Each structure stands twice: as structure tokens, then as C-alpha cells.
Amino acid sequence: MNSIQCKMARAALGWGVRELARAANVSTQTITRLEAGDQLRDKTIADIERVLIEAGIEFIPENGAGAGVRFSKPARTKI
């Protein structure tokens, strides 16, 4: 996850910096620093990424067209 993907994920979820910080148990300054491109601890980034994934975000890696995000596909349930 990079800084732009974090911003895009928040926008897709309709979350502000405060909501993501609360969900990831980090400070709002940490989210702001991440989105500004500052270096953070790997564990901190992993914790933020995990929260976004659990909220339904899928991260799309750089593939020549730029990295991105999308909503993950809902699990299919058998009836």
C-alpha cells in the first residue's frame, strides 16, 4: 500500500483521517504522515492496510497503469 492508495481507500469507504486512525489504533498524525509519503514502520503500515482490507478494500499493484484500489469481491455463499 502506498500513500495514494491509502487516500483512495479512505475516499472509497467514505472515511476521514479520524475514522481510519481510530480503526487502525494509530494517531491522526500517523495517517497524515503516511498519506504525505513519509516513512513509517512496516508494522504500522501493515496494521493500517489490514484495517482497510477488513473494511472491504482490495489493493491493486502497479501493473503499468498505476497502483489502485477497488472494493473486494464479496464472498459467494452457497444456498
- Taking only the tens of pLDDT, the chain with its 79 residues reads 999 999 999 999 999 999 999 999 999 999 999 999 999 999 999 999 999 999 999 999 887 778 899 898 765 555 5
Residue 10 lies in a domain: yes
**What pTM was computed for the model?**
0.86
Residue 78 lies in a domain: no
CA-to-CA distance for 31 and 52, rounded, in angstroms? 12
Residue 79 lies in a domain: no
Number of domains in the chain: 1
Maximal CA-CA distance, the chain: 47
Structure confidence at residue 66 (pLDDT)? 80
Look up the domain containing 29 and give its range.
3-71
Q: What is the CATH number of the domain that holds 66?
A: 1.10.260.40
Residue 51 lies in a domain: yes
Structure confidence at residue 73 (pLDDT)? 73
CA-to-CA distance for 59 and 30, rounded, in angstroms? 20
Residue 57 lies in a domain: yes
